[in-house]
Structure 1
Amino acid sequence: MSPARTRPEREELVFLADLAGEAERHNDVVKQIKSIIDFFGAPLSIEERNLLSIAYKNITNNLRNSWRIIDTLQKLQAIRSPGRTRQLVLIRRQQDRIERELTDVCKDIVLLLDRDLLPAAGRGEETVFYLKMKGDYCRYLAEFSQKRERERFAGLSLDAYKQAYKHALLTLHPLHPTRLGLALNFSVFYHDVRQSPERACHLAKNAFDNAVLSVDVSDPGFDQTIKDSMAILQLLRDDLILWSGEMQDAK
């Protein structure tokens, strides 16, 4: 008979998660936050939620970068040595390994969102934040999956982004950084996954224009709001310039 699990202090688990994050032990951060959910339930504090989000982002960013490097090397090798060579087989094998790791991580966070975090999320920013996360990780899955799976994950990503955007329009200020971050990533989905720069530009421009028009310098919280949102507005503007150029070149 296995011994009963001792209930830890929540503050201790948060401290360990924060410590792991500082040490760039991102898998350990995820483990500690999952322990919080197991022992204390799904609603997370903003600090806990941010620790989880940053950890998954770092894990997946590293894997996605590795996948892109291997994919580039595979294409270069195919140009240098047309046909099925031993080197190409080895490169593809390594790419498959990275894909499996990335798939496992993305599916893990989507499951955690669907099973625990979204059902317990409060109306407003928390729901938008988690739906955006689901859209992001389904988008990552769509980026490297084969055709049938790509369409399935793209559909899941689109559904999550649409739900998040609808909720954001109803509950969040146009300058709210979570709403702007959602618009940024949703527009990237249309550009990268759906290959529709027109829809990407439309969504990004609406978000940018609505944010700028809603600026109220007399608002006591204006300084902090604009500080948090400025970097995202700049990214939206950069993408708009880039994608508009693509559409002009395609004419």
Structure 2
Amino acid sequence: MPTVQVKRPVDRARCMLIAELAIEAERYQDVVSEIKKIVFAYNARLTVEERSLLSIAYKNLTNTLRSSWRIVEAVEAQTSVQATKNAKRRRELLLVRQQRHKIENDLLDTCNDIIDLLDRYLLLAAKPGEEAVFYSKMKGDYYRYLAEFGPEKDRKRFGETSLQAYKNAYKRALTTLDALDPTRLGLALNFSVFYHDVYKSPARACHLAKSAFDDAIQSLNPKTTAANPTLRDSLSILQLLRDDLVLWVEEM
């Protein structure tokens, strides 16, 4: 008689315990696997803590690949100069380029994984307001990484998709979130970085960053912010916005 497989419900607390342990151990793919179990079992309704772990995991996975790309790209530039008159260096240059292409494809796979999760599950289930802004910002972020470090032939398309995702997120943020909300400020920070790094427009980057910075400063009120649990996060992002503004103004 065949054995009947009984599908057990996903133990949410167990998944979170493993995910938190995996974060400490820097096993970010394990974090993704555990949070995905919750996404699929609970109709893509994540708590703030679950959402944060998912974000941290993908950020670290892509940060490693982006760092690797920069290193290999620097080696490629150096080898390219030496390869003009050296056959051995030309062979080395081909190998270095192959490694860069491999990193680009690994980044493409990782970014497509989180973008697919966002498009098919998380964004569809998101509540209007902070949650929807958070996920829309994530979509803009990972398309931005592809626009900078993905396969070169697709970078323009990735940049255009990133811009649209950021615009959608920012439109939602302006109408649903307070100017001092850390999710809105984090979006403004990343959106302005997009204009600077991808579209090479310090002017637009400065305009967006300064507008977000000024709106947040104007909304600071000792009576309403004293008990605000996210104030420290907001102030940290404001400092980053200010630092970027100083650098970008110098550029112009």
Report 1:173-184 matches (<5 A).
173-184=178-189
SS of the aligned residue for 1:224 comes to: coil
CA distance in structure 2 between the aligned counterparts of 1:145 and 1:33, rounded to whole angstroms: 25
What is the root-mean-square deviation in Å for CA atoms of aligned residues?
Answer: 1.6
Answer whether contact 1:175 1:225 (CA < 8 A) is retained: no
Report 1:119-158 matches (<5 A).
119-146=124-151, 148-158=153-163
CA distance in structure 2 between the aligned counterparts of 1:146 and 1:38, rounded to whole angstroms: 30
Answer whether contact 1:42 1:120 (CA < 8 A) is retained: yes
How far residue 220 of structure 1 moved from its aligned partner, in angstroms, is 5.5
**28, 31, 34: which one pairs with 1:32?**
34
**228, 236, 239: which one pairs with 1:231?**
236
Q: Does 1:188 align with 2:190?
A: no
How far residue 96 of structure 1 moved from its aligned partner, in angstroms, is 1.2
The match for 1:52 is 54
Question: What residue identity is the alignment partner of 1:76?
Answer: Q
* Deviation sequence 1:44-77 (CA, Å, 0-9, x none): 0111100100000000001100000000110011
Q: Does 1:9 align with 2:11?
A: yes
Relative to structure 1, the CA distance from residue 119 to residue 48 in structure 2 (aligned partners, 3 Å threshold; closer, same or farther) is same
**Which range moves more in the overlay, 166-175 or 7-16?**
7-16
Identity of aligned residues (%): 55
CA distance in structure 1 between the aligned counterparts of 2:228 and 2:143, rounded to whole angstroms: 34
How far residue 39 of structure 1 moved from its aligned partner, in angstroms, is 1.9
**Which range moves more in the overlay, 14-23 or 48-57?**
14-23
The match for 2:166 is 161
CA distance in structure 2 between the aligned counterparts of 1:220 and 1:178, rounded to whole angstroms: 16
CA distance in structure 2 between the aligned counterparts of 1:198 and 1:4, rounded to whole angstroms: 60
Q: TM-score, normalised by structure 2?
A: 0.93
Answer whether contact 2:225 2:231 (CA < 8 A) is retained: no
**Which range moves more in the overlay, 8-17 or 80-89?**
80-89
Moved over 3 A (4+): 1-5, 145-148, 220-225
Answer whether contact 2:105 2:150 (CA < 8 A) is retained: no
CA distance in structure 1 between the aligned counterparts of 2:38 and 2:229, rounded to whole angstroms: 30
CA distance in structure 2 between the aligned counterparts of 1:148 and 1:82, rounded to whole angstroms: 25
Question: What residue identity is the alignment partner of 2:214?
Answer: D
SS of the aligned residue for 2:223 comes to: coil
CA distance in structure 2 between the aligned counterparts of 1:227 and 1:220, rounded to whole angstroms: 10
The match for 1:212 is 217
* Deviation sequence 1:92-124 (CA, Å, 0-9, x none): 111111111110000110000000000000011
Question: What residue identity is the alignment partner of 1:230?
Answer: L
How far residue 82 of structure 1 moved from its aligned partner, in angstroms, is 2.1
**97, 102, 107: which one pairs with 2:102?**
97
How far residue 160 of structure 1 moved from its aligned partner, in angstroms, is 0.6
Relative to structure 1, the CA distance from residue 22 to residue 79 in structure 2 (aligned partners, 3 Å threshold; closer, same or farther) is same
**197, 201, 205: which one pairs with 1:200?**
205
How far residue 6 of structure 1 moved from its aligned partner, in angstroms, is 2.5
* Deviation sequence 1:184-232 (CA, Å, 0-9, x none): 0000000111111100000000000000011011115455343111111
CA distance in structure 1 between the aligned counterparts of 2:107 and 2:225, rounded to whole angstroms: 43
The match for 2:66 is 64
Gaps of 5+ in 1: none
* Deviation sequence 1:131-187 (CA, Å, 0-9, x none): 000000000011124554112111110111001101001111111111000000000
SS of the aligned residue for 2:128 comes to: coil
